[in-house]
Amino acid sequence: MNLLLLLLVPLATLLALLPVRGLKQVRAVSLAGTTAQLGISLYLLWKYLQVRTPGAENMYFQQRYSWFGPLQIDFHIGVDGISVGMILLTAIVVMAGVLVSWKQEKWNKEFFFLLILLSMGAYGFFISLDLFTLFFFLEVAVIPKFMLIGIWGSGKKEYSAMKLALMLMGGSALVFVGLVGLYFNTNINGHHSFSFLEIVNLNIPIATQRIFFPFLFIGFGVFTALFPFHTWVPDGHSSAPTAASMFLAGISMKLGGYGCLRVATLLMPEGAKEYSWIIIILSTIAIIYGAFATMMQKDLKYINAYSSISHVGFVL
């Protein structure tokens, strides 16, 4: 199974959209591209179930290419059970988003272009085994969200889009500091490394984990709307077009949860233990606050937003 297809098919769809002019042609290309994504995701699931070893912590279908040698940055990709599930979820949501937006007429080509670019960022994030590459794809997913809400949204769309962008950029800054801190505290055969598989086997000093675990967990926590960094979610959902709202709840918030568990907690388990009581308190508040806030809403998008905050508490 070639995981590059998860990036090449969305890229080919984006390129195919560029010369297209008619509304029917834009819809056809977008639907064909997202259908192909779903087909690849189902094939990946089938292949994974064939090769997986129950109980083993293996990464499958790995591919590795040197990206920037001097800093040991590689384009390294692979999947396990969690990432396969998230990839399939992404494919389902983006295809549903295209169908829900079928009657979208305002700048329809640009709308579908950004939606597919957003899915490409999510795929890249879930398959990355190099932390720098993972961060790159995380940022690829931020800009389309900002534009989808700011251009095609409703109500206070400019305010909501700017609030989302500023808070997610703040979270990105924290994640970047945490990743750079990890990088300079690794020593693999005399050099630093961004490789997830190399870092996970290191015994990172407790003092280092105490310092950099909060940067990664809070940074990814902003993306997943961890209390009290959740305030962008109700505004974002209420102003977003339906497809973007689906992607925010179904995929984008999962990027943060995936990062909290796969990157922060797995790479720095002692740091997670040190701060576990804080995580438990914040998660409990999110569960209760999100549940009660949901019951007070009448707008479906606000219900979706606050219920997502509550769900995040259970995940973390």
Distance from C-alpha of 287 to C-alpha of 306, rounded to nearest angstrom:
10
Distance from C-alpha of 276 to C-alpha of 271, rounded to nearest angstrom:
8
Q: What is the pLDDT along the chain (316 residues), one digit of tens a residue?
A: 788 999 999 999 999 988 888 778 888 888 899 999 999 999 999 998 888 877 667 788 888 887 776 777 888 899 988 889 889 989 998 888 888 877 766 777 888 888 889 889 999 999 999 999 999 998 888 888 878 887 777 777 778 888 888 888 888 999 999 998 888 888 777 778 888 888 888 888 888 888 889 999 999 888 887 888 777 777 776 777 777 777 777 777 788 888 888 888 888 888 888 888 888 888 888 888 888 888 887 777 777 777 878 877 777 7
Cβ atoms of 14 and 123 within 8 Å: the answer is: no
Which pLDDT belongs to residue 55? Answer: 67
Q: By three-state DSSP, how is residue 296 classified?
A: coil
Neighbours of 71 (CB within 10 A): 13
Q: Which domain holds residue 289?
A: 5-315
**pTM, full prediction:** 0.89
Q: By three-state DSSP, how is residue 151 classified?
A: helix
Neighbours of 284 (CB within 10 A): 12
Which pLDDT belongs to residue 105? Answer: 66
Distance from C-alpha of 108 to C-alpha of 105, rounded to nearest angstrom:
5
Q: How many domains does the chain have?
A: 1
User: Residue 234: is the preceding peptide bond cis (ω within 30°)?
Assistant: no
Distance from C-alpha of 110 to C-alpha of 108, rounded to nearest angstrom:
5
Distance from C-alpha of 50 to C-alpha of 48, rounded to nearest angstrom:
5
DSSP structural state of residue 195: B
Q: What six digits make up the tokens of 75?
A: 């384009």
Angle between helices 232-239 and 300-315 (to 10 degrees): 140
Which pLDDT belongs to residue 6? Answer: 92
